[in-house]
Structure 1
Amino acid sequence: MDIAQEKRMMQSILSCMVDGVLVLDIYGCIIHANKAAESLFLVREGVLLGKRLTQISENREISDMIDEVLSTGNESFTETTISPSTLIFRVHAVPRKDHHDRIEGAIVVFHDVTDARNFDQIRSAFVGNVSHELRTPLTSIKGFVETLLDGAMENSDTCRRFLSIIDTETNRLTRLIEDLLTLSSIESQERIVYLKPACLLRSIRNVMNMFGPQISEKSLHVEFIHPYPMPLIQADEDLLGQVFINLLDNAIKYTPRQGKIIIQCRRRDSRIITTVKDSGMGIPHESLPRVFERFYRVDKARSRQQGGTGLGLSIVKHIVESHGGEVFVDSEIGKGSTFGVSFLVI
C-alpha cells in the first residue's frame, strides 16, 4: 500500500468516527479535523484548518492542556463542556512525535460522556434517596426498641403504643422494598410481560373493591364512568392491576374526607384513555414535570405521613410505557389532580 492509499484510508477512518478528532502542528494550528469535530464546533467543512483552538472556542482549559502537551510531550485529558453545547466531553490530547522522538504536534480526541455522567448523577441520587428512605423508619424503630429496653416495657399502654409504631414502620419498610423490587424488575426487563386480551373494566372494578374499606373510612364518593361495551386491550393483567392500585391509592390518600374521585375511560382513535381525578389540594405547576420521578414528593412530610414510598407513580409510568402506552398529569392548586394513562385497544 502506497502513501496515497494509506492517507485515503486514514481519512476514511477519521471521517467515520463518532468522536471528534483534531490534528495539530507544533504551533497548535489545526492541520486536520474530521466531520465529528466540525459538527462539535458548529462549522462548515475546512473552516477549522489553520486555526488555533483559541480562535474557535472560549474554553481555556482545553487550550492550556494542548499547550502543555506541545511543550512537555506528556499526554493529558480533561472533562469539560464546549459552548454553546451543554454536552460533556472527555478531551484526550497526546503528542505527535517524529522518528527522532521530537514533538511535531498533537492529536486531540473529543469523546461524548454526557450519558455516562448523567447516569452517574441519577445513580448517586437514587442511592442517596434509598439510603434516606431506609434510614428514616430504621431510626424510628431503633429508638423505640431502645426505649422499651430501658424500662418502658413495664408500662403496658406505652409498650403497646410503641410496638404499634414499630409495626407501622416495619410495614413501611416492607412496602418500600417491594416497590423497589417491582421497579427494578420492570426497568431491567427481568419481569416478563405476559400480554393477552385484558378487560380494563374488570381490572378497575377489582381495584375499587379492594379499596372499599379505605373509601368508606373517608366517606369518599367514587364515580366510574366508561363506555359500553368496553373494548379489550393487550396487557399483562397483574401489571395492569398494579397501575390502577397505585393511581387509586394515590387519589384516596390526597382526597379529603367526603371528597370525590372520578375514574373515567374514553376511547380516542386506537387508544383507551383512563383518567383518575381527585378533589385534593392539587399540585404546583412547577412540580408537574417531576411527579413520575422516583422518590419525588410534592409534600414530603405529608407523603410520608400517608405512608407513601415515593415510587408508586414511577412504577405506573414504567408499566404503562412497557405496554406501549403513555402517562400524563394535569393539576391546579385547590382544584385537585388528574392522572391519566393510555393503552392500545385490540
Structure 2
Amino acid sequence: MNDSLHKDFSVYQLALGVDSPPQAFPLNPATLLSLVRATIDLLIERQINATIWFKLPPGKIWYTELIRYQSSARTVSTIYNCQTKEKKAEADADAESEENLTSSSPLDCRHISLASIPNSHISCEYFLIVLSPNFCSVVVAYQPIKKDKSKVLSKENANKSQPLLTLISIDSKVIQIILDGLKQEIKSELDTIAPTDFICPTASEPGLISQLFAKQIQRQDEINRQIRTERISKLKEKNQNLHKKERLKDEYLSNVCQELRTPLTQIKTALSLLNSPNIKPNQRQRYLQMLNSQCDRQSILITSLLDLVQLEHNLENTTLELVKLADIVPGVVSTYQPLAQEKGIMLAYTVPTDLPAVWCVSGGLKQIVINLLHNSINFTANGGQVWVRAKFHGEYIQLEVRDTGIGIAESEIPKIFECFYRVRSGVSDEINGAGLGLTIVQRLLWHCGGSINVKSKLDEGSLFTVQLATENNKAINAGKANI
C-alpha cells in the first residue's frame, strides 16, 4: 500500500470527496448519540437485518445501542468494530469496558484494525455505516485535535468539550466510496470478510428514509426536553440558593438590629432616669456608668460589624502567606499581659522557635490569636490560668489556647461560631462583647485551609485547638474546615 495514502486515510474526507458532498455541521456528542439511537430504533422497529461498520467514541453508552440492536434482531447481523492501532492501551481499555458492561449480553462483533499514525485523521473520526438490501446510511463525525500542550485532557473529556463536525448521508455513492476506502485500508483481513459486506445497494426505500428522519426528530426532541428539564432544575436550584441567601441576609439584619437596639434601650432608660428631679447622687452615678457601659458596647458592636464586613470583602482577593507562630504569639501575649495581671490571671505561652511557618490569610494569624486569647481571658475569673501552646501534629501545626474559665455547655458549643452568639453564664454576663470574635476566627480559617475544634466543660474551662497547614503541606483545602 502507498504509505502516503495510508497516512491520509480518512472516512470524513472520503465522504467529502464526491461531486455533491453532504453538508457538514457541528454537533455535540449528545446529539451524535441521538442520531445513532435513531438509526438503531429504525433497524429494530422494522426488523432490518443489516451489516454494520462502526468506530464510535469511548464509553459504554455507545456499545449499549449496538447491543440493543443485536439482542432484538431475529437473525444474526454482521457487525465490524473498527479501531486504530495507535494508543493500543486505550483500545484495550474500551474493549474491557465493553466486556464488563455486557457480561450477560456481550456484543458479538468482528474487531478490525485500522492502521494509522499518531494524530492522523482516522484517529479523530467516528462513524456508523448501515448496509441492508432496502436501507443504507452513514454517519461520520470528525473531531479536530487542539494542539495545546498546556491543557492535558482525557480523551473522554475532550470529546465532551469540543464539537464534532458531522456528515449524514443515505447516498449510495457516498457510502460506496467509504466502503472502497475501508477495503483498501484493511487488505490484510479481506480473506475473512464477505465481499458483500463492502457493497452498498443502489438506493434505500423512501418510506424507510422518512421514518429515519422522524426517528431523528423524536430523538432530538428527547434531547431538547432533557436540556430544558436540566435548565429548569438548575434555575430552581439557583432560585433556592438566592432565597436562602436572602433569608440568611434577613436573619442577619434582624440580629444586627436587635443587637443595636438593646444598648439603645438601656441608654434611653438611663437618660430618662437621670432627668428625674428626685434622683440621688449614688443613683446618678450608677446611671452614668450604665450610659458609659452601653455606649462602649454600642461602639464595640459597630466596630466588630465593620471588621466582619471588611473581612468578608477582602478575603476573596487575599492571598495566603507563610507566617511563623513564634513571630506572632509572643507579641500578642505581651499585649494582653497587663489585662491578665489586673484580673489575677496567670498567662503563659510555649511556642518553639523551630516550628515551620504556616499558611494563613495575610494578617489573619494575628487576628486568630488575638480573638482566641481575648475570649479566654474574658471568660476566666480572677485567679484563673490561660495557656497558649503550639506544637507539631502530623502534617499540621497545632495551636492550643486553654483556660480554666467558666466553660461552655455541650449544647452551646455548636452555636459559639454563630454571629452575635454569646455564652451567658456567670462572669460572662458582665461582658459586653459583640459575639463576633469566634465568627471572624472561623471565616479566616475557612480561607486558609485550617480548622478549629473546641472541647469544654462547665466550671472546668475550655480548650480551643486550631490546625494550620505548614509550608511543606501541599494538601491545603481552603474553605473546608472541620468545625
TM-score w.r.t. the length of structure 1 is 0.65
Match of 2:321 among 185, 189, 196: 196
2:409 equivalent to 1:284: yes
Unaligned runs of 5+ in 2: 1-209, 472-483
Give, as a single letter, the amino acid of the residue that structure 2 aligns with 1:185: Q
- The more displaced of 218-227 and 240-249 is 218-227
2:252 equivalent to 1:126: yes
Match of 2:303 among 163, 178, 184: 178
Distance (whole Å) between structure 2 residues aligned to residue 288 and residue 325 of structure 1: 19
Q: How many angstroms does 1:258 deviate by?
A: 1.0
Distance (whole Å) between structure 1 residues aligned to residue 227 and residue 352 of structure 2: 55
Kept after mapping to 1: 8 A contact 2:318/2:362: no
Kept after mapping to 2: 8 A contact 1:172/1:307: yes
Distance 1:237 1:216, change over 3 A: farther
Distance (whole Å) between structure 2 residues aligned to residue 9 and residue 111 of structure 1: 25
Distance (whole Å) between structure 1 residues aligned to residue 215 and residue 305 of structure 2: 59
SS for the counterpart of 1:276 is strand
Match of 1:140 among 266, 278, 297: 266
Q: How many angstroms does 1:17 deviate by?
A: 5.2
SS for the counterpart of 1:10 is helix
Q: How many angstroms does 1:309 deviate by?
A: 1.0
Q: How many angstroms does 1:203 deviate by?
A: 1.4
SS for the counterpart of 1:224 is strand
Distance (whole Å) between structure 2 residues aligned to residue 244 and residue 164 of structure 1: 31
Distance 1:111 1:219, change over 3 A: closer
Distance 1:17 1:208, change over 3 A: farther
SS for the counterpart of 1:309 is coil
Give 1:34-183 correspondences, 5 Å limit: 114-151=240-277, 158-183=283-308
Match of 1:211 among 336, 351, 354: 336
Give, as a single letter, the amino acid of the residue that structure 1 aligns with 2:269: G
Distance (whole Å) between structure 2 residues aligned to residue 115 and residue 302 of structure 1: 40
Q: How many angstroms does 1:246 deviate by?
A: 1.0
Provide, for residues 276-304 of structure 1, a one-character-per-residue CA deviation record: whole Å limited to 9, x for no partner.
11112322222222221112233278645
Distance 1:113 1:191, change over 3 A: closer
Provide, for residues 304-330 of structure 1, a one-character-per-residue CA deviation record: whole Å limited to 9, x for no partner.
521121111001100122222111111
| Residue equivalent to 1:320 | 445
Q: How many angstroms does 1:116 deviate by?
A: 3.7
Distance (whole Å) between structure 1 residues aligned to residue 228 and residue 460 of structure 2: 54
Distance (whole Å) between structure 1 residues aligned to residue 425 and residue 218 of structure 2: 62
Distance (whole Å) between structure 2 residues aligned to residue 18 and residue 254 of structure 1: 54
2:414 equivalent to 1:297: no
Kept after mapping to 1: 8 A contact 2:409/2:456: yes
Kept after mapping to 2: 8 A contact 1:295/1:311: yes
Q: How many angstroms does 1:215 deviate by?
A: 0.4
Q: How many angstroms does 1:160 deviate by?
A: 4.6
Match of 1:11 among 215, 218, 222: 222
Distance (whole Å) between structure 1 residues aligned to residue 427 and residue 327 of structure 2: 32
TM-score w.r.t. the length of structure 2 is 0.48
The alignment-based identity, stated in percent, is: 27
| Residue equivalent to 2:162 | none
Kept after mapping to 2: 8 A contact 1:224/1:262: yes
2:266 equivalent to 1:266: no
Unaligned runs of 5+ in 1: 22-35, 37-88, 91-109
Distance (whole Å) between structure 2 residues aligned to residue 113 and residue 249 of structure 1: 40
Q: How many angstroms does 1:275 deviate by?
A: 1.1
Distance (whole Å) between structure 2 residues aligned to residue 246 and residue 13 of structure 1: 55
SS for the counterpart of 1:307 is coil
Give, as a single letter, the amino acid of the residue that structure 1 aligns with 2:252: F
SS for the counterpart of 1:137 is helix
Provide, for residues 228-257 of structure 1, a one-character-per-residue CA deviation record: whole Å limited to 9, x for no partner.
412222334532221111101111111121
Distance 1:218 1:301, change over 3 A: closer
Q: How many angstroms does 1:123 deviate by?
A: 2.3
Distance (whole Å) between structure 2 residues aligned to residue 216 and residue 317 of structure 1: 28
Kept after mapping to 2: 8 A contact 1:271/1:343: yes
Kept after mapping to 2: 8 A contact 1:203/1:237: no
SS for the counterpart of 1:293 is coil
Distance (whole Å) between structure 1 residues aligned to residue 343 and residue 423 of structure 2: 22
More strand by share: 1
Provide, for residues 128-186 of structure 1, a one-character-per-residue CA deviation record: whole Å limited to 9, x for no partner.
2111110011111122223334447x866654543332222112111111211222222
| Residue equivalent to 2:183 | none
| Residue equivalent to 2:350 | 225
SS for the counterpart of 1:286 is coil
Kept after mapping to 1: 8 A contact 2:333/2:349: no
